[in-house]
Amino acid sequence: MNSSYLDYNATAPLRPEARTALLAALEAPANPSSVHRFGRNARGIADIARGQVADLVRAEARRVVFTSGGTEANNLALRLALEGAGVKSLVITGIEHDSVLRPARHAGLPTYEVVAGADGVVSLGALEATLGAAQAAHPGPALVALMLANNETGAIQPVAEAARLAHAHQSLLLCDAVQAAGKIQVNLSQLDADFLTLSAHKLGGPTGVGALITRDDWTPAPLLRGGGQEKGMRAGTENLGGIAGFGAAAAAAQQGMYGMKTVAALRDRLQAGLLAVCPEAPVYGTGLRLPNTLCIGMPGVPAETQVMALDLAGVAVSAGSACSSGKVTPSHVLTAMGLPEAAAREAIRFSLGWASRPEDVDRAIEAWCKLWQRKRK
């Protein structure tokens, strides 16, 4: 059976450039911390990748700390804010990834949540009001968490404006840019975020590697203690193959950013094809959004049924976050946007990427529309 992978927001297929760099690095017989020439060669591989990742978000290479992925990067950022800046409260949005929501709720600090609007975008007015209330009740700096682009709806958030609000309140901002990087231009200086997090496998790199990028220097507050690698932020011998693959994927994504116009056209073709058969299907996050993402509901049909039917037809999609697969609860992102639970249970996500083809879109349209016609009858 021919198959179509339309779940790039879960994991993008490995780019050829990343595969080549990963395999070459795995053949380097040394530890990057070793002082002999083999070790220096390994260190050079990591340094090249660090520069490539930094270039993707217009940051300084020395600010990049490699981690095991976006989840660890978000957890490390929260730890730095708590231990290094002494934040007194947390202000997070209801649409954040679980790797921000869960550690925030277990941080032992007062946590304030900001809901998103029906368009999936967080209101700056609501954010400022919540931040003010948090500081009135708990004087001192707060940490604001606002992702750059949502993983389920693709809705792009006003991070730069939120950072200005946070800094005006002598507070910090954490920007989860995991889904945005490689799909839209990301510039750390323009965003003015204090912490920015990335994950390699979302942009065509290997799994098991990510990065935390900081705007300023911080006293280490590592999650893992040991040999002091990554400026003392993250102990343990570096995942050299993963890091090299991450760097190569970042460089390829940056060079191929123009290709996102083609991806956006395919996404729009997909959306038009689905709505032509089912005009009443709700589309979520229809404002400014990632060029590759479509979150849509099939009225009266559970998301699980849609995912299974599409899978049988050779089309891979997701219901909610891939990190929450197997759960029967509705999407926390959609409920944070004010959707009724029933509607949130009917939404699925199509996400395209660098290797998506017109035939993938056509196969998805055919399969989804056949399901709708059967269920409607």
Cβ proximity of 349 and 333 under 8 Å = no
The angle formed by the CA atoms of residues 316, 319 and 324, to the nearest 5 degrees, is 110
Cβ proximity of 262 and 287 under 8 Å = no
Residue with tokens 């780019």: 15
Backbone phi and psi for residue 225, each to the nearest 5 degrees, phi listed first: -110, 145
Residues with catalytic function: 323
